[in-house]
Chains A and B, each alone.
Chain A
Amino acid sequence: MARGLVDGNGVCRYEQSSYVTIKLIMVCRTAYLKENKSSVHHSDPVEEKVHEAESAAISPPKLDEVKTGCSDKSKSNSHGIEPCFKWTKTHGFFLQMGGFMLYENGQNQHVLGWETLMEYYKAGRIDLSTITEASINDRSKADGFSKGLALLQIVWFIIQSLARFSTKRLALTEIELVTAALAILSLVMYFLWWNKPFNAEIPIFISLCEPDSQSVESNLARKGENFLHIPFMNL
């Protein structure tokens, strides 16, 4: 704003730009609301699962069933592993954050590490079918919209710095240069961490199922076909 006052018509332009900003926010909000609405109406399977989980959260005993996956319903469903289950980058980030916790004998045991999780999963003692990408993202306090807004500001700062640096009349101070360098670092981080749940505070509890000979067999049979596809890890 101080800069706007130096120029002759700075104040006028400030008003204009604030008007544009408000307009932009309104357009974004409308688009966002529309997106939200349509996703509810469409009711794709992932979305439905979340709604199911949400409604289950109201009645605790049912929640237990959903989270542990040890109920009769999921057992009958091809031994807990649904064909739609896919290990995503979000799962990987959440695992690395210590997001999966083993729950046994009515209390938290310990954070599930990568190797332990794989061991139990291959032995058929863990059911991951209810842990969809959407259910992990539900714990994240930032979505594409809020991340996008922050990203927009970062990019705008970088553009302004570039313009100041290359225009003869203007000057770029050292502190702006340092900030621009940090802004580019954060651009890289936004790119790499786009799928990382933001500020997730409560872990997903995973209960060990009783070693069931039938499910162990079926899982061993699946072992060969690389059902857990992890794109970013060489196993």
Chain B
Amino acid sequence: MLLSNGAFTLDDPIDNQEIPIMKVPTFYSIMPGSSFTDLQMTCTSFFVATLFGAIHCAGWSHRIHFSTHAGSLLWRISSAVITSCPFAWSMWVISGYSRGESDESSFSLKISQIMTGIFALLTFLTIPLYIVARIILLVLAFVELGNIPPGAFANIRWVNVLPFIH
């Protein structure tokens, strides 16, 4: 199903079992009814992944304090990686979908075939990159705990925000 090679199967792992199943697999989800539904689902999850990465990009701001320049650089690179990777993945899914939809021997088929090839390669290259970037971000977040700026200990004065009290 995830392999966007145009061909689409409706085979459900629960329904088409020889041995009766007593428990669904942990990450089981019902097969989408059409390739368009599949596209919608995949693109939604990749969009959320992009959103997740985009929040990490707040580390580019000078407001986030890093103890070393190397740490800051690592954070910036990693956050850029985890924001851009889902883009490449969703492009792969979209081009695979358009390849499945376009007519035989048409121009759009050729274009989408090339695009699918490029983005498939890009996807397989970026997946390990993404994993490494996520680990770096997590580790860095804990490492930076050893060097907290004094502002992090101060409290937010919410009372100042309320009208007529201050």
**Which of B15, B36, B64 contacts A172, CB < 8 Å?**
B64
CB distance from B111 to the nearest CB of A (A): 27
B154 touches A6 (CB 8 A): yes
- Complex formed: what's the CA distance from A192 to B140 in Å? 31
B12 touches A177 (CB 8 A): no
A114 touches B14 (CB 8 A): yes
For the complex, would chain B's binding face be called helix, strand, loop or mixed by DSSP majority? Answer: loop
- Complex formed: what's the CA distance from A110 to B12 in Å? 14
- Complex formed: what's the CA distance from A166 to B153 in Å? 15
B21 touches A111 (CB 8 A): yes
Find residues 168-187 in chain A having any chain B CB closer than 8 Å to their own CB.
169-175, 177-178, 180-182, 184-185
Tell me which residues across on chain A come within 8 A of B148, comparing CB atoms: 171, 173
Q: Which residue of B lies closest to A112 (CB)?
A: B14
**Which of A110, A166, A180 contacts B21, CB < 8 Å?**
A110
B65 touches A171 (CB 8 A): yes
- Complex formed: what's the CA distance from A10 to B158 in Å? 12
**Residue picked from A4, A170, A174, A180, most chain B C-beta under 10 Å:** A174
B153 touches A2 (CB 8 A): yes
By size class, the interface of chain B is 35 or more
> At the interface with chain A, which of B23-31, B94-102, B115-123, B125-133?
B23-31
B156 touches A177 (CB 8 A): no
**Which of A92, A177, A235 contacts B59, CB < 8 Å?**
A177
Tell me which residues across on chain B come within 8 A of A115, comparing CB atoms: 12, 15
Q: Which residue of B lies closest to A3 (CB)?
A: B155
Task: Say yes or no: A96-B48 contact (C-beta < 8 A), given A170-B156, A181-B55.
Answer: no
Q: Which residue of B lies closest to A92 (CB)?
A: B30
- Complex formed: what's the CA distance from A167 to B28 in Å? 44
A169 touches B14 (CB 8 A): no
Q: Which residue of A lies closest to B159 (CB)?
A: A13
Give A residues with C-beta under 8 Å from B. Answer: 2-4, 6-7, 10, 13, 92, 95-98, 101, 108-111, 113-116, 160, 163-167, 169-175, 177-178, 180-182, 184-185, 188, 233-235
17 contacts between A and B (CB under 8 A): A7-B154, A13-B155, A96-B28, A101-B22, A110-B17, A110-B22, A111-B22, A113-B15, A164-B152, A165-B61, A170-B156, A171-B152, A173-B64, A173-B149, A174-B59, A178-B56, A233-B33
Give B residues with C-beta under 8 Å from A. Answer: 12, 14-15, 17, 20-24, 28-34, 36-37, 48, 51-52, 55-56, 58-59, 61, 63-66, 75, 137-138, 140-142, 144-145, 148-157, 159
